[in-house]
Amino acid sequence: MFLRIVNAILKVIDLKGQTMEYHVVVEKMCGCAKRKNMPQIKTFDDKENAHRIARAWAQELNETFCGKHAFDVVAVDNNFVIAMSEGGY
């Protein structure tokens, strides 16, 4: 269900620009993310860079947040979702 919503959001974002953009989207904004005032979407012009940043961002969240959740990167079309699951890293 969530991935369908993310796909719909990303398709709308992709329709806005003429050039191809690649997005990194945080699935859910947990309390730690909200306290850090962290952005939920980051946009890149290069797919490899977006993937690299998504992996590094997920790793940072796993290492610096409270540990109630684990974060992992899931590819969705030409975009990357940082998925959140219960349990620590």
| 87 vs 34, more confident | 34
Can you give the pLDDT at residue 20?
Answer: 86
* CATH number for position 79: 3.10.20
Residue 17's domain comprises 2-86
If pLDDT is split at 50, 70 and 90, which confidence band does 84 have?
Answer: very high
- How does DSSP assign the chain, residue by residue? -HHHHHHHHHHHHHHH-SS--EEEEES---HHHHHTT--SEEEES-HHHHHHHHHHHHHHHHHHS-SSEEEEEEEETTEEEEEEEES--
pTM for the predicted model, two decimal places: 0.76
22-56 pLDDT tens trace? 999 999 999 999 999 999 999 999 999 999 999 99
Count of domains observed in the chain: 1
> Which amino acid belongs to residue 29?
M
Can you give the pLDDT at residue 39?
Answer: 95
